[in-house]
Each structure stands twice: as C-alpha cells, then as structure tokens.
Amino acid sequence: MLLQQPAPPKAIQLDPVTLLMHASGPVKVTVVLLLIASTMVWGITVLKLLQLARLRSAEAAFQREAMRANSGGELFELAQNHRSAPGGRVVSWLAMRGAPGSVERLRAIVDRAIVNERQRAGTFLPTLGTIAAVSPFVGLFGTVYGIIDAFMRIGAEKSASLPVVAPAIGEALLATAIGLAAAIPAVVFYNILDKRLGDLENELESSAAEWVLIVAESRR
C-alpha cells in the first residue's frame, strides 16, 4: 500500500498585492494605517503649500503699501484693507489692544499677535512631524510580526523551505517599505514647510519692529 505524500504548501506569488491579500491580520492593519498616514502626508503638504503661498502673497502686498505709511492712522487703515495678510492682522491687533503706552507694551502686544499668526499658519505641522516620527516604528511592528509568523509557519510545516517562509518574510519587508514610504516624505515636507513658515515669521517680526515705532511716535 503506497503512503500518500503530504501536499506541498500552496505557493504564494511574491508581488505586493498578493502578499497583502494573504497577509495576517495584524500586518494588514499595520499596512492600512500606514497607507492612511501616507495619504495624510500628501494631503497636508498640498494644503499647507497652498496656504503658505497665499499668506506670502497677501503679506507681500501689505508690506509694499505699509512701507509708505507715515503714521499709525495710515497703518491701521491699510490693515483694515489687508485682513488676509498676517501683517494686517498683527497691525489690527495692535490697533485694538494698543492703548497709549510704552514702546515695550506695544512690542509685547505685537509679539502676542505674531504668536497667534504662527499658530494659525502652523496648523497640521505637528501632525506631519508625528507621522514622520512614528511611521517607521509602525512599519517595524509589521516587520516583527511578519518574522514571528515566518517562524510559526516553520514550526507548523516542520520545514524552512522558501515556499514556507517567503510569504511571511515578504509581508514583513513590505510593511517596512510602506512605513519608510510614509516617513521619508513626511520628514522632507515637514522641513520644507517649517523653513517657509520660519521665513514668514522672521519677515513679520522684522516689520513689526518698525510698525511699533510708527504707532508709538504717532501717539506722542
């Protein structure tokens, strides 16, 4: 009587889509989270680039007109016409809160207004930084689980042949690759956006010093 040979394990193709379809539950959850994070990175980046471009354009228009202002009244009138510009909002804040007082008090009011503008323009940047920092570790979790799965398959099949371990190892490496694909653009875009935001803030601070002096001299 012939003994039946055990059926060989079903081979799984090693293309990314097939690996994901046959991946274990935790690896699938990890990959989905990373894909969501990657989508958020690109979405946030596009929105922030458009926002900063709009702010810089509005600020440049306000700065050109503010250079011709000779009094606090003229400056406040310009600010009313340029509410979309960060500098216009800073000057409007100075008009509302800057009752007669010292230059130091006016400067403190302006500093507070600039902080508000920084917070407004920096929305979602912490989210981008968090994705950049966390995504590699999320991908690493998928990698570790894939390696554990490979060893479990070796134990179950009592074989370390390539058809047994290759799918699990492929899932693990795929999770790592997707984690890096989410983290690397997040780091690059975060640095670009942070640099542009810092440049805008520095320009605003430099101009604010002159605006404070104009307002202070007008109230003497």
pLDDT tens sequence across 10-69: 545 556 677 677 677 788 888 889 999 999 999 999 999 999 999 999 999 999 998 888
With cut-offs at 50, 70 and 90, classify the pLDDT of residue 151: confident
Provide the pLDDT confidence category of residue 189 given band limits of 50, 70 and 90: very high
Q: Above 90 in pLDDT, residue 163?
A: no
Residue with tokens 């079903």: 10
- Put simply, whether the predicted model's pTM sits higher than 0.85 gets the answer no
Say what the pLDDT of residue 4 is. 47
Nearest of 55, 101, 103 to residue 82 by alpha carbon: 55
pLDDT one-digit tens code per residue, 108-135: 889 899 999 999 999 999 999 999 999 9
Average pLDDT over residues 173-190: 92
Q: What is the pLDDT of residue 161?
A: 67
Enter the tokens of residue 105: 């008090």
Q: What is the rounded CA–CA span in Å between residue 121 and residue 115?
A: 10
- The sign of the dihedral angle between the CA atoms of 38, 39, 40, 43 is positive
pLDDT reading at 90 higher than 50: yes
| pLDDT of amino acid 14 | 57
Q: What is the pLDDT of residue 6?
A: 47
Give me the sign of the Cα torsion angle 87, 90, 96, 100: negative
CB proximity list for 160: less than 8 A, separation 6 or greater: 154
> Average model confidence (pLDDT) for the chain?
84
Q: Using only C-alpha atoms, what is the Rg of the chain?
A: 29
* CA dist., res. 156 & res. 160, Å (int): 10
Distance of CA 127 to CAs 17, 195, 216, Å? 28, 16, 40
